[in-house]
Structure 1
Amino acid sequence: MSFPRARVAVAALLVAGATALAGPAQAAGGHRALSHFDDGSFETPKAPANSFTGVAAGQAIGPWTVTAGSVDLIGAGFWQAAEGDQSLDLNGGNAGTVAQSFTTVPGTTYSVTYALAGNPGGGPALRTGRTLIDGQNFQDFSFDVTGKTRTAMGYVGRQFTFVAQNTSTTLSFVSTVVGAYGPVIDNVQVKECVCCG
């Protein structure tokens, strides 16, 4: 009677061992790794409806941190969002920068996508900025607000890829236009680019 039980126990140990060995190999072998990138639509915290909240350097917007200048978190109804209810004007009283750090797998290629528009309320027609990965410029962007309104923002999609160098990567959006009317971003997404590399 003890022999079959021993065989069952050995078989169970072999299966458990094989599963434990297979886990890391599968994770390293092409399965999508979670980037833990959060709230790319700036939905938390809630800004007042039909208004906005100014956020200064050193303050947070959910998982994002304002690292320079100031930005405006735009509440539902103030103007058209690309996704969800809220969006972000990269200029509060002046040009601002927001950043979010998230986990990555070194050597893995990631795709960053985002919706771009501009505050149509005033200032020069061209809103400009750039995206940074770990402090390095990866993409300059510009948006012309001519003919745009709060109900027809004219969002356009932007995309770039990067290869992670570390287990944590920081994505930043920087306004390069002066004044209180900046580029607007929304629906920021970071995904492992399984088709690249």
Structure 2
Amino acid sequence: MSLARTRIAVAALLVAGATALATPAQAAGGHRALSHFDDGSFETPKAPANAFTNVTTGQSIGPWKVTAGNVDLIGAGFWQAAEGDQTLDLNGSTSGTVAQSFTTVPGTTYSVTYALAGNPDGGVALRTGRALIDGQAFQDFSFDVTGRTRAAMGYVGRQFTFVAQGTSTTLSFTSTVAGAYGPVVDDVQVKECKPCCG
């Protein structure tokens, strides 16, 4: 290979390397990275229509993992969803916990929003639970199912914020009520605050 061709090849490699190094910053908007949070509406996998699938400790619901007890993934048509077709009852045959880990930027504030209701089919009227960040309780929640039906679940919006401590953060939802009828969550979203309100 001639000296001229060698110089051209080296120049091409340098340009390619500079482009590759610039790509992550461009993808992140030049200075900030977004969290990679998936399937907050529990749409994957599909539960049977007008029925539900019990998911136990160690099993997964898409990017969510059941970390304690068991939960019910509620299929389309079984009861009203807040968003999409499916929802999650945090109690299967007993109280359960689900968790998802996602990418975060240390020191950045994030907002978590979700729709809350309760299984209207039985049990005590008040469904209670807790949202946790990296195992630390961030918000206790409760929902009274009095007068609620499968066709009119009465979802309410809940929100809280947290400051990421690392490059990965784990969001968990856990039921704190015994039995087979628990709080229902749907439409979970995690977004970087710019700025945060609340």
Q: Sort the TM-score into its range (normalised by shorter chain).
A: 0.7 to 0.9
| 1:171 matched residue in structure 2 | 171
Distance 2:94 2:79 in 1: 20
| Deviation string, structure 1 residues 59-96 (Cα, Å, up to 9, x no partner) | 00000000000000000000000000000000000000
Residue in 2 that maps onto 1:45: 45
- Partner secondary structure for residue 34 of structure 1: coil
TM-score for both structures, normalised by structure 2? 0.86
TM-score computed with the length of structure 1 as normaliser: 0.86
Using a 3 Å threshold, how does the CA distance of structure 1 residues 29 and 196 change in structure 2: closer, same or farther? Answer: farther
Q: Distance in 1 between matches of 2:122 and 2:190?
A: 31
* Matched residue, 2:115: 115
Q: Is the CA contact 1:30–1:194 (under 8 Å) kept in the aligned structure 2?
A: no
- Flag structure 2 segments of 5+ consecutive residues without an equivalent: 1-10
Q: State how far apart, in whole Å, the 2-side matches of 1:45 and 1:18 are.
A: 38
RMSD: 2.5
Change (3 A) 1:146 1:106: same
Q: Give the paired residue count.
A: 186
Map of 2:5 onto structure 1: none
Distance 1:19 1:102 in 2: 24
- Residue of structure 1 in register with 2:192 after alignment: 192
Q: 1:21 to 1:129 in 2, by over 3 A?
A: same
- Give yes or no for the alignment of 1:99 onto 2:99: yes
Q: Alpha-carbon deviation of 1:151?
A: 0.2
Asked if 1:160 corresponds to 2:166, the answer is no
Contact map agreement 2:28 2:34 (CA 8 A) in 1: no
Q: Give the letter aligned to residue 160 of structure 2.
A: F
Q: CA deviation at 1:194?
A: 1.1
Contact 2:91 2:179 in 1 (8 A): yes
Deviation at 1:34, TM superposition (A): 2.2
Distance 1:92 1:20, change over 3 A: closer
Structure 1 contact 133–170 (Cα < 8 Å) conserved: yes
Partner SS state of residue 35, structure 2: coil
